[in-house]
Structure 1
Amino acid sequence: MLGGTGIATASLLAPGSASAADAGNGLVFPGVDVVIDSSHATAEVAALVRRYLTSKSAQDLDGWMSFFSRDLITYIDAVVGAGFYNWDSLRASLSQFMSNWPSDGKSYPTRILGDATSAVVFFTDTAGLFGPSEIRAVGIINFRDHKITRQIDYWDGRHFGIANEAALAAYSTGSPTDFGESTVGETAAPAMRDVASKLAQALRNGDGASAAELFAPGAIFEDMPAHLHIVGPRSIGTYLTKAISLLPYAGGGTAVRHVVGSAVGGGYEWTASNSAVPRGVVALELDGWGRITRLTAMWDGSLVDDSTLISLARTAIEQ
Structure 2
Amino acid sequence: MSTSRTARIMGRDVDVSKATPDVVQFLASYFEAKSGDDVDALMAHFLPESITYVDATVGWAFRDWQTLHDKFAELLEAWPAEAVAYPTRIIGDFDSAVVFFTDSPEMFGHELRAAGTVDFRDGRIVRWVDTWDGRSLTVEATESMRVPEDVYPGEFAENEVGENASPVLRQAAGAFAAALAAGDALAASSLLHQDVVFEDTSLHTLLEGRIQTHAFLDHNLSRLAYGPESALRHVVGSAEGGAYEWSSGGRVPAGVTALELDEDGAITRVTVKWDTSLTPKATLHEAKGSTIRH
- Give the TM-score normalised by structure 1: 0.88
The yes-or-no answer on 1:116 pairing with 2:87 is no
Q: Which residue of 2 aligns with 1:82?
A: 60
The yes-or-no answer on 1:277 pairing with 2:262 is no
Residues 20-39 of structure 1 mapped to structure 2, 5 A cutoff: 27-30=7-10, 32=11, 34-39=12-17
Q: Which residue of 1 aligns with 2:241?
A: 265
Deviations 1:193-240, CA, capped at 9 Å, x for gaps:
000011011111111111111111211111011111111111111221
Give the CA deviation at 1:306: 1.1
Give the CA deviation at 1:59: 2.1
CA distance in structure 2 between the partners assigned to 1:73 and 1:200 by the alignment: 27
Are the counterparts in 1 of residues 23 and 93 from structure 2 also a CA contact under 8 Å? yes
The yes-or-no answer on 1:255 pairing with 2:227 is no
Q: Which residue of 2 aligns with 1:44?
A: 22
CA distance in structure 1 between the partners assigned to 2:163 and 2:285 by the alignment: 36
Are the counterparts in 1 of residues 52 and 127 from structure 2 also a CA contact under 8 Å? yes
Deviations 1:92-119, CA, capped at 9 Å, x for gaps:
1111111111101111100001000000
Are the counterparts in 2 of residues 37 and 112 from structure 1 also a CA contact under 8 Å? yes
Q: Which residue of 1 aligns with 2:142?
A: 165
Q: Which residue of 2 aligns with 1:20?
A: none
Give the CA deviation at 1:169: 4.0
The yes-or-no answer on 1:301 pairing with 2:276 is yes
**Percent same amino acid among aligned pairs?**
39
Q: Which residue of 2 aligns with 1:146?
A: 123
Give the CA deviation at 1:174: 3.7
Are the counterparts in 1 of residues 60 and 147 from structure 2 also a CA contact under 8 Å? no
Are the counterparts in 2 of residues 81 and 173 from structure 1 also a CA contact under 8 Å? no
CA distance in structure 1 between the partners assigned to 2:3 and 2:40 by the alignment: 31
CA distance in structure 1 between the partners assigned to 2:197 and 2:134 by the alignment: 24
Q: Which residue of 2 aligns with 1:93?
A: 71
Q: Which residue of 2 aligns with 1:237?
A: 214
Q: Which of 143, 160, 173 matches 1:196?
A: 173
CA distance in structure 1 between the partners assigned to 2:173 and 2:46 by the alignment: 27
CA distance in structure 2 between the partners assigned to 1:50 and 1:171 by the alignment: 34
CA distance in structure 2 between the partners assigned to 1:171 and 1:58 by the alignment: 32
Q: Structure 1 residues 291 and 3 mapped into 2: Cα distance closer, same or farther (>3 Å)? A: same
Give the CA deviation at 1:71: 1.1
Are the counterparts in 2 of residues 80 and 172 from structure 1 also a CA contact under 8 Å? no
Q: Which of 162, 165, 185 matches 1:185?
A: 162
The yes-or-no answer on 1:212 pairing with 2:202 is no
**Equivalent position amino acid for 2:244 in 1:** Y
Deviations 1:48-90, CA, capped at 9 Å, x for gaps:
1101111111222000001001111110111121101100011
CA distance in structure 1 between the partners assigned to 2:101 and 2:148 by the alignment: 21
Are the counterparts in 1 of residues 3 and 19 from structure 2 also a CA contact under 8 Å? no
Structure 2 counterpart SS, 1:226: coil
Structure 2 gap ranges (5+) = none
**Equivalent position amino acid for 2:260 in 1:** E
The yes-or-no answer on 1:311 pairing with 2:286 is yes
Give the CA deviation at 1:166: 3.1
Q: Which residue of 1 aligns with 2:39?
A: 61
Are the counterparts in 1 of residues 245 and 255 from structure 2 also a CA contact under 8 Å? yes
CA distance in structure 2 between the partners assigned to 1:61 and 1:98 by the alignment: 7
The yes-or-no answer on 1:175 pairing with 2:155 is no
Structure 1 gap ranges (5+) = 7-26
Q: Structure 1 residues 73 and 60 mapped into 2: Cα distance closer, same or farther (>3 Å)? A: same
Q: Which residue of 2 aligns with 1:105?
A: 83
Are the counterparts in 1 of residues 232 and 246 from structure 2 also a CA contact under 8 Å? yes
**Equivalent position amino acid for 2:13 in 1:** V
CA distance in structure 1 between the partners assigned to 2:150 and 2:16 by the alignment: 33
| Number of equivalences | 293
**Equivalent position amino acid for 2:28 in 1:** R
Residues 121-136 of structure 1 mapped to structure 2, 5 A cutoff: 121-129=99-107, 131-136=108-113
